[in-house]
Structure formats: C-alpha cells, structure tokens
Amino acid sequence: MALFDPFFAPDPAPLSALYDFVTCTEVAEHFHYPDREFARLRGLVRPGGWLAIMTCFQTEDAHFANWHYRKDPTHVVFYREQTFRHLAHVWGWVCEVPGKDVVLMQAPGGAPA
C-alpha cells in the first residue's frame, strides 16, 4: 500500500507507480481541476485494476441549495452517479455502484467484472 495526500502525505513517489486498486475517499469533491485529477487517478490503475471513489452524490436540484455537503467551503465540485458512468464509458471501463455514494470502475485488460 502506498499513500499520497497533498496535505497529509505529500510524498509524490506513489504517483509514479501502477496499482491493482486505487482509492479516492472523500477527496474528489475538493478537486479544483477534476479532469486533471481523474486523468492522474486513471493513470495509476494497472490494466484490469480498479479505481474506487467515495463521495457524496449530488442531491436533486430542488434540494441542492440546502444540502449540507455543498455548504462545506472546501467542496468545490459535486458529482452524480451518471458522472462516473460517463467517465467509465469514455475510458472504456466498467462502472459499478455497489452502494450509496460509492463507485467502482475497472480498467480493461483484466478478468471481466
């Protein structure tokens, strides 16, 4: 296991390796440049490997204004389940949503999901 966090574990060495399983837990909502960050995460996953993301999915638009998650000033971007399904489609990956606010995406090249 290798750990990278820009604030709490800033050693960039883990960003130059490939992994079977990469997690991004309660971090994606802090991405100022999500396209760059998702490209980075994608590049860390071996063929057949998995990217697991946990973030609170955006609520219905009618509830967005009062949503507690939106009120955190460090949360600058929000996602819906469809966002991750779209990313997986564009990347040619498999996307599964096994539970609330959890996405598993598998890179091609491994055993079928």
Cα 89 to chain center, whole Å?
14
Going residue by residue through the chain, which has 113 residues, state the pLDDT in tens, using 9 for 90 and above.
898 888 788 889 999 999 999 999 999 999 999 999 999 999 999 999 999 999 999 988 888 988 999 999 999 999 999 999 999 999 999 999 999 999 999 999 965 55
Question: Residue 33: its pLDDT value, please?
Answer: 95
| CA 87, 5, 72, 32 torsion-angle sign | negative
* Verdict on whether the full-model pTM lies above 0.85: yes
Q: Please report where in the chains the tokens 């999500």 appear, as a residue.
A: 34
